């Protein structure tokens, strides 16, 4: 099983990826079971993923945690 917690945001085309990279320079597009998303980070511990999620939400970016 995949041990990571992934912080992802919606992918709405090239502009959304460019915007994501202003916050997380190595963000990238990834196909997940629920559709195409931008991966903002991968963490071993849920509380670390939650920290990034809250940081993004403070900047007005809706994020979620994906666990395969």
Structure tokens at 46: 């849920």
Measured CA to CA, the distance from residue 68 to residue 54 in angstroms comes to 21
pLDDT of residue 63: 97
Measured CA to CA, the distance from residue 18 to residue 41 in angstroms comes to 15
- Closest to 63 in 3D by CA, of 15, 5, 1, 3: 5
Residues 5-56 pLDDT 10s = 999 999 999 999 999 999 999 999 999 998 999 999 999 999 999 999 999 9
The dihedrals phi and psi of 53, each to the nearest 5 degrees, come to -55, -45
Domains of the chain, with CATH numbers? 5-66 (3.30.70)
2: pLDDT confidence band, cut at 50, 70 and 90? confident
């Amino acid at each position: 099983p995949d041990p990571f917690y992934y912080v992802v945001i919606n992918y709405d085309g090239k502009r959304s990826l460019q915007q994501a990279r202003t916050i997380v320079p190595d963000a990238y597009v990834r196909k997940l079971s629920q559709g195409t998303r931008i991966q903002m980070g991968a963490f071993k511990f849920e509380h670390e993923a939650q920290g990034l999620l809250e940081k993004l939400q403070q900047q007005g970016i809706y994020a979620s945690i994906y666990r395969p």
